[in-house]
Structure 1
Amino acid sequence: MKRVLITGAAGFLGSHLCDKFIDEGFQVIGMDNFITGDLKNINHLLNHPHFQLIEHDVTEFVKIEGELHYILHFASPASPIDYLKIPIQTLKVGSLGTHNLLGLAKAKKARILIASTSEVYGDPLVHPQSEDYYGNVNTIGPRGVYDEAKRFQESITMAYHRFHGLETRIVRIFNTYGPRMRLNDGRVIPAFIGQALRGENLTIFGDGLQTRSFCYVSDQVEGIYKLLFSDYVYPVNIGNPSEITIKDFADEIIKLTGTHQKVIYKELPKDDPLQRQPDISLAKKLLNWEPKVSREEGMFKTYQYFKSLSKEELHKSEHKDFTKHIKI
């Protein structure tokens, strides 16, 4: 069996990738230090004969015994609440962590796929965003710790490809949603649904006219899987180009949940992008990929997941003590 290492395995997207690769007949090694990941996301895999869990921080030296054919690097805080609380660790996982994993890939002669993000485009001046757009990023702003970590990640990955001939792939992930997202992690969908289920008003930052484009997790995973086995080494956007304003999306949530909350407005955070929509022409051409799950279908599945959570989980604070997990 081919062996694949997936970092950030207990995270939202990482856990779905573990499921995908096991279903496809791989031996999966999941790695996580549980800063933001949750063991419950992979509980169903712990006794699976083709799954192994290693608790480890990838900013420290990474060692894997035996053959390794593929690496998917998804270890990183991904929500604003997390990376604003642990900015140094966010930068370290994008730099030191990526360096460690590229070194492992070189030693094992493995192909490595790096999870980048639409945030490399910053607050874009080009719309929709295509892979040849270099972005508009504030390097010293509060969001810069995440944006620049990912931009560096792309640079060092291409350096390893060019200098060492390493087989590398880079996926630029746009807003993704679905079961296993954390409530109250600062992202739009879990925030809105959590507020609706708790009977709270829905909070919009800014005037609500900023846009987002939401891709259901199964579509995202399929795009990543196809990219890994493609022959293309440069970044590829994977996301859903169906764009909606935050204000209109709040109305959809109220309709979906059958609640009657008001919408309240707060100040827009610094450098929060006003537009986000992927140009997926390249993914269509290279991978024969495009999203299949409509927002209506995907949101229904996501709402059913959140509705199944216990009252304790629904009201649990997300003020996590990161200091016991990390060295900064």
Structure 2
Amino acid sequence: MTVTQEQADWFADAFTKLASSVDQAILGKDHVIRLVVAAMLSNGHVLLEDFPGTGKTVLAKALANTLHGSNSRIQFTPDLLPSDVTGVTIYDQGKGVFEFHRGPIFASVVLADEINRASPKTQSALLEVMEEGRVTVDGVSHEVGAPFMVIATQNPVEQAGTYSLPEAQLDRFLIKTSLGYPDRDSSVALLLDSSNRSRASAVSPIVNAETVLTMAALASEVFVDQAVIEYLNDVVTATRHDKDVALGVSMRGALALARVVKTWAISQGRTYVLPDDVRDLAVPVLAHRIMVDPEAEFAGTTAEQIVDRVLVSITPPVHRAA
């Protein structure tokens, strides 16, 4: 199916309305909000890493509230068990059968708050459901439904009692981003409204699950020229050969970038992807998938710097592929 300009305009208008709705709760963070909405419409998951009190949980709750669907919040703690996330099978004595009781993971938008405070065993309970949209308990698979999105938060400080996310799990997050502190005008506006302790609750549902699935399907049909795909592949490949990289971006990461650039393009009313879309999304999609060499990391090199360096070293295409 070829995306028409009329469809692209409708998508861009709906996308802007979604982002503006979430912006009621998180002021002055339009770019981050658009990244998170793009991830949702690309059937992806988001990891928000930032300092305490910057609005990570508020952003996740606000996005969940924009949907006419279910949402849940899981507070990850060291004593949380995998069954507390996925659900458990219980024997019903009255009926004489085992029944599956669904856990909080069965929701359209799941907020995994402070995910790095849970044990690796509990974190691994999310691996299957984030990749395949289902959980397997006692040998029986249960679909979580669509749309399905995990928004996880973690704190980069206060590492005592936390467990770093393994690379296999980081790779399942489409985007990793941070909010940062608000600018002066946004700070003043928030302080003037300090009596409002639940800004996310002001966000009302504006789309249903069917609309989200329709938008996701439409975004997947956006045209990408072969030259742009080759450029994207060159960027990903370069991360694997950089002198400061111990482990580069996987093929899953390349596929994730190829998927979300389509959503990013149509969110701006275009029916085709530009090399600039790849450049705009390279850091939030690729950086968290890179393992920096320990010596380089000790010297201050970051994954974000490596991605920026790769983007500078590779010339984007200026003509369509033959």
TM-score (norm 2): 0.28
Q: Which structure has the larger Rg over C-alpha atoms?
A: 2
Which structure: greater helix fraction?
Answer: 2
TM-score (norm 1): 0.28
Ranked by relative contact order (alpha carbons within 8 Å, sequence separation 6 or more), the top structure is 2
